Chains A and B, each alone.
Chain A
Amino acid sequence: MKLSRIITTLLSGLPVTLTLLVFSFVFASAIGLGVAWLALRKNNFWSGAARLYLGLIRGTPPLLMLLLTYYGLPKLFMLIGVDINDWAKMIFGITGLSVGWSAYLSEAFRSAYLSVDKGQYEAALVVGMDSKDAFWQIIMPQTALIALPNIENLVIGLVKATSLVYVIGLIDMYNAATDLSNQNQGVYKLGIFVVLALVYWLIVLTIEWIFRSIRNDYEYVTV
């Protein structure tokens, strides 16, 4: 089998992989920020609810999360009379990964927030900032920088987790590769998987490059 055939087949799954990656990361971050915010509140009810969410989600294997989403979400929506069985599998894939990764990201945000030097907030207050300005000007940017290495790790983990969507029948890069391998009775298996590994590797390298550029912009900010 020609190498070009392997590459074109794998690349046909690339848009699905990248769509899953980008949208899951964005939604997971949004949910994660919200949950971290709740977890950090002094109110016991909300912080308790956030902790329960974190415990449950972090304790569920990502594969199982996808299955639960795919089979469970339509049942949940049925309860309120909405039929979502026709929704694209992509939506279930993104939802499952977003929920699964939201807990990890939430913990990255929360721990970063807690490790911002308390003196930074006090200094902001004593120059006359209100707590909102102090948060957005001083605390939030520093939290983001502290969280950056953890976020990078989680994004790289997410790249690999996108391959799990085969369980709900989405044809991503990984699924395209195994299909191609099976069509040929596994004869070209090794070659296909080596190419697949290289493509994942390139994606990860790109992500590392993006994070390194962000960090370089703040070279002299040590938090």
Chain B
Amino acid sequence: MLLELRDIEKTFKDNQVLKGIDLTVEQGEVVAIIGPSGSGKTTLLRNINFLETANSGSMTFRDQNIDMARPSKEQILWTRRHMAMVFQNYNLFKNKTALENISEGLVFGQNMAKKEADSLAEIALDQVGLLDKKDFYPSQLSGGQQQRIGIARATVLNPDIILFDEPTSALDPELVGTVLRDMKQLAEQGQTMIVVTHQMSFARDVADRVMFFADGEILEQGDADEIFDHPKNDRTKQFLSAIAEDY
């Protein structure tokens, strides 16, 4: 087991966003988290890499036990240096070129020499088919290109887990496919991923396990067939049928 979360609770003012989440992720597993907006999916991801601090709960990541409510600075940095994250709105560094966006984490997070970092960054850029854009700034790139660089920025770190926070939600519909293709390729290479997504087709085709998340709780989880074709929970059924009406 690579990651285990135990009883994570998170409250914003009077609003309890996470109501005791338990979650385990195996090495190489792709976990998709689906569910209505505002249900706490993103907050859960942000608690895992300490962009938010939980009110209570604990985590075992690799061999480290971490108190989620009271992580030490070293534990936070260590966790972040073994994970990566892809954001909904890309968050590429606006003052850095595509190549620098990718090499930055190697240079400053992993103390790699600039030259070595650059050559790894070029390989990562090539993998997402954007090597010719290496000297472009984010403002010169489309959303799809930015997000694929966001993915390259994550993979180049060789992280144990990549957290995807609705990676295609801000994209033009026609650009969604390229990003999903990169993610699928990663999954096939055995990259462990937790993906918060509204792309049901991705969850169905790529995820080893799908979790239905609503009102701060995991209401149901299982493989894609179980969740999509044989949901047991009424709330899951309601959500899936509401989505189906879109098509």
Tell me the A residues contacting B by CB distance below 8 Å: 117, 119-120, 122-130, 133, 137-138, 141-142, 145, 218, 220-223
Contacts and interface: CB of A to CB of B under 8 A. Distances in A.
Contacts of B239: none
Interface residues of B, number: 28
A129 B109 contact: yes
A134 to B, nearest CB: 8
Contacts of A137: 93, 104, 108
B218 interface: no
19 contacts: A119-B87, A120-B91, A120-B93, A123-B92, A126-B84, A128-B81, A128-B110, A129-B104, A130-B108, A141-B95, A142-B94, A145-B95, A218-B95, A220-B137, A220-B139, A220-B140, A221-B94, A221-B139, A222-B94
Given A126-B49, A128-B80, A221-B139, A120 B94 contact: yes
Most chain-A CB neighbours within 10 Å: which of B80, B84, B91, B157?
A: B91
Interface string B54-97: 00000000000000000000000100110111010101111110
Interface of B: 49, 51, 77, 80-81, 83-85, 87, 89, 91-96, 104-105, 108-110, 136-137, 139-140, 153-154, 157
B94 A223 contact: yes
Contact of B95 (A122, A128, A129, A138): A138
Contacts of B153: 127
Contacts of B96: 138
A138 B109 CA distance: 14
A128 B77 contact: yes
Given A137-B104, A220-B136, A126 B95 contact: no
A222 B137 CA distance: 9
A121 to B, nearest CB: 9
Given A124-B104, A126-B83, A130-B108, 15 more contacts: A117-B91, A119-B89, A120-B93, A122-B51, A122-B91, A127-B108, A128-B80, A128-B108, A128-B110, A129-B104, A137-B93, A138-B93, A142-B95, A220-B140, A222-B94
Given A119-B87, A220-B136, A125 B94 contact: no
Contacts of B137: 220-222
A142 B153 CA distance: 20
Contacts of A142: 94-95
Contacts, number: 75
B91 A129 contact: no
A18 B154 CA distance: 50
Which among B83, B94, B96, B140 has the highest number of chain A CB atoms within 10 Å?
B94
A137 B49 CA distance: 21
A215 to B, nearest CB: 13
Given A119-B87, A122-B91, A222 B139 contact: yes
Q: Among A122, A126, A142, find the residue whose CB has the most chain B CB atoms closer than 10 A.
A: A126
A119 B131 CA distance: 25
A117 B139 CA distance: 14
A120 B157 CA distance: 18
Contacts of B91: 117, 119-120, 122-123
Nearest to B89: A119
- Which of B80, B95, B154 counts the most A-chain CB atoms under 10 A from its CB? B95
Nearest to A128: B109
A124 B93 contact: yes
Contacts of A117: 91, 94
Contact of B80 (A119, A125, A133, A218): A125
Nearest to B50: A125
Q: Which of B93, B110, B137 has the most C-beta atoms of chain A within 10 angstroms of its own C-beta?
A: B93
A222 B77 CA distance: 29
B55 to A, nearest CB: 20
Contacts of B154: 127
Q: Rank and list the top 5 A-B pairs by shortest CB-CB distance, nearest first.
A: A128-B109, A127-B105, A220-B137, A123-B91, A119-B91
